[in-house]
């Protein structure tokens, strides 16, 4: 199944980390967060990626054009620069790099690459800046059985404050944490059929007008996930995820297609 990754935004809320690289290239451990997301999909057997580039597109292109297998594998370097890779053989990815412009929203970026996926029975899309341990196989199975045109991952907002239930007269009925609320948000992991483009128009944001049309026709579903999910919107989010990686606590790597953790593998252009 093809995977569309939206990699072109300015990432203004985390620009304090660095203005020299685009948000998807901000590293977690030794790898950009975008590559963690790609590895998650690869572990489920989805190895064909379409990257919607924009802000500092040349940096992402350079990452794939100049990447070497030893950058992502344990290896032995001997005299003369000979490199022997250790462990399992590297798995090839097919990565299509499309510059969709800087000032486009998510809907416009998807529209710009529609010729690459419109004839697919189903395809995946992702914001490329969030990580999760959701069982993708189960999400796909439920979506396929639903007959809907689009599905999004619904997650609890990672709020650190408490929610108050207040009557109109000011009487406080209850305080509760966000995980005990009825609030669900869009986690940025999407499944779609090619018919999604029948519900889209140029210059529209994906989750606004097109999703409103889908809702009207009862063609949108949500897959609720109570497990791990974290987006990297701010410097604080990055610090939290980086600390997890340093501890070796990476739940997004523990759900490969065969149930076994997989290491990061080299991506090669076709």
Residue 270 has pLDDT above 50, yes or no: no
In this structure, of 17-21, 39-43, 170-174, 206-210, the range with the lowest mean pLDDT score is: 17-21
Q: Whole-prediction pTM value?
A: 0.83
| CA count, 13 A, side-chain hemisphere, 42 | 24
- Which band of pLDDT confidence, cut at 50, 70 and 90, is reported for residue 165? confident
Tens digit of pLDDT for each residue in 228-241?
999 998 888 999 99
Q: Stretch 78-98: mean pLDDT, rounded?
A: 71
Q: Tokens representing 218? A: 């009862």
List of domains in the chain: 2-74+81-253 (3.90.550.10)
Sign of the torsion angle spanned by Cα atoms 43, 44, 45, 46: negative
Strands 185-192 and 150-155: antiparallel
Cβ count within 10 A of residue 107:
21
Nearest residue to 9 via CA among 127, 113, 90, 182? 127
Question: Rounded to whole angstroms, how far apart are CA atoms 5 and 126?
Answer: 5
pLDDT score recorded for residue 14:
59
Nearest residue to 163 via CA among 143, 186, 182? 182
Residue 36 has pLDDT above 60, yes or no: yes
Residue 90 has pLDDT above 70, yes or no: no
- Which band of pLDDT confidence, cut at 50, 70 and 90, is reported for residue 214? very high
Nearest residue to 32 via CA among 46, 11, 48, 12? 11
Q: Provide Rg for the chain, Cα atoms.
A: 20
Residue 196 has pLDDT above 70, yes or no: yes
Tens digit of pLDDT for each residue in 96-116?
999 999 888 999 999 999 999
- DSSP code for 80: G
Question: Rounded to whole angstroms, how far apart are CA atoms 253 and 260?
Answer: 9
């Amino acid at each position: 199944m093809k995977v569309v990754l939206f990699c072109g935004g300015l990432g203004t809320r985390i620009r304090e980390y660095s203005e020299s690289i685009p948000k998807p290239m901000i590293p977690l451990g030794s790898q950009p967060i975008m590559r963690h997301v790609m590895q998650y999909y690869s572990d489920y057997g989805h190895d064909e990626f379409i990257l919607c580039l924009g802000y500092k597109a040349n940096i992402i292109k350079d990452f794939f054009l100049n990447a070497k297998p030893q950058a992502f594998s344990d290896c032995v370097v001997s005299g003369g620069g000979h490199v022997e890779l250790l462990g399992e053989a590297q798995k090839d990815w097919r990565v299509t790099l499309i510059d969709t412009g800087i000032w486009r929203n998510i809907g416009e970026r998807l529209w710009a690459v529609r010729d690459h996926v419109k004839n697919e029975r189903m395809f995946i899309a992702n914001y490329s800046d969030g990580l999760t341990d959701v069982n993708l196989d189960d999400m796909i199975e439920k979506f396929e059985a639903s007959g809907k045109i689009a599905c999004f991952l619904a997650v609890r907002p990672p709020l650190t404050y408490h929610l108050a239930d207040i009557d109109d007269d000011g009487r406080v009925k209850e305080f509760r944490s966000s995980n005990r609320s009825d609030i669900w948000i869009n986690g940025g992991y999407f499944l779609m059929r090619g018919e999604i483009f029948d519900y889209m128009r140029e210059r529209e944001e994906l989750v606004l007008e097109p999703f409103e049309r889908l809702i009207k026709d009862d063609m949108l579903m949500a897959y609720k996930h109570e497990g791990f999910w974290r987006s990297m919107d701010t410097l604080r989010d990055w610090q939290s995820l980086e600390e997890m990686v340093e501890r070796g606590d990476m739940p997004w790597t523990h759900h490969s297609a065969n149930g076994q953790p997989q290491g990061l593998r080299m991506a090669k252009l076709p």
